[in-house]
A = this chain, B = another copy of it.
Amino acid sequence: MDEAVASFPDNASLMIPGFGPGQPTNLLAALWRTNATGLTTISNGVGFESADPDQKGLGDLVMAGRVKKVIAAFTASTRPSRTGTAEALVANGTLEAELVPQGTLAERIRSGGAGIPAFYTPAGVGTETATGKEHRDFNGRAFVMETALFADYAFIRAHKADTAGNLLFRRAARNFNPIMAMAAKNVIVEVEQPIVEAGEIDPDQVHVPGIYVTTLVRIPVGGVLHINRATGMAIRQTA
């Protein structure tokens, strides 16, 4: 893992998938161990902090001041009683936040991966999130223009992979992974299962074609496979 992120530069933009499952936990922990700073991140939320060195993630990078900007559908807690990770930093001006409706976020990423610089969506029209954005009517309904997102890096969590870089995801761990893998220049993938030879995965079942993938690393024994959110315990790779 450390080798895969060793040359990660400062001030890079990074896509981080995950919606519960599907987070590249091991790559994030490896990034934590580098000195990379000045990150711009694109993710669903700003993430949790963890005392476990193997679970260090976006929340920890944010709190350590290594993130310059977050683009996310959750930049603060929805619960008034609980202050979110990023709020204080944004308030004191050391972190920039861009709050985006989740579907718009997903479509901006998909557009970045599809060479579409901008599109129109109905989401958020009539709310603060659309304030100041360009509006336009189509067939009598108002839409707002949103622009594509494309990053220097994407960290991806796959279930299976072959040596050609073809990726498969499992169940809800798919979420943002395929579209983020399509929307970054350098795509680094941690894989749960042993990497198989090219030709062993049915071409009809591939979720992400190998042409998008830069680096594949299998999660080593002891690496984190899942995190039990109830207990905070990591479930680890055993073989």
Residues A114-163 near B (CB distance < 8 A): 114-122, 136, 138-139, 141, 143, 147
Check A121/B115 contact, CB under 8 A, given A138-B147, A203-B171.
yes
Check A119–B115 contact: CB distance below 8 A: no
Q: Please name the residue on chain B nearest to A170 by beta carbon.
A: B204
In the complex, how many angstroms separate the beta carbon of A142 from the nearest chain B beta carbon? 10
- Does the CB pair B118–A114 fall under 8 Å? no
In angstroms, how far is the closest chain B Cβ from the Cβ of A95? 25
Asked whether A205 and B205 contact (CB < 8 A) given A117-B138, A120-B117, the answer is: yes
Contact of A122 with B118 at beta-carbon distance under 8 Å, contacts A171-B204, A204-B168 already known: no
Binding site for B on A (CB under 8 A): 107, 111, 114-122, 136, 138-139, 141, 143, 147, 168-171, 174, 203-205, 207
Q: A203-B171, A204-B171, A205-B205 are in contact. Are A111 and B119 (CB under 8 A)?
A: yes
Assess whether A122 is in contact with B111, with CB atoms less than 8 Å apart: no
Bound form: Cα–Cα A170–B202 in Å: 10
Contacts of A141 in B (CB 8 A): 117
Cβ-defined contact, A119 with B118, below 8 A: yes
Tell whether, in the assembled complex, residue A204 and residue B138 are in contact, meaning their CB atoms are under 8 Å apart: no
Which 5 pairs of residues, A with B, have the shortest CB-CB distance? A117-B138, A119-B119, A116-B119, A118-B120, A117-B120
Show 28 residue pairs from A and B whose CB-CB distance is below 8 angstroms, ordered by the A residue.
A107-B114, A107-B116, A111-B119, A115-B121, A115-B122, A116-B119, A116-B120, A116-B121, A117-B120, A117-B138, A117-B139, A117-B141, A117-B143, A118-B119, A118-B120, A118-B136, A118-B138, A118-B143, A119-B119, A119-B120, A138-B147, A168-B204, A171-B203, A171-B204, A174-B204, A204-B205, A204-B207, A205-B205
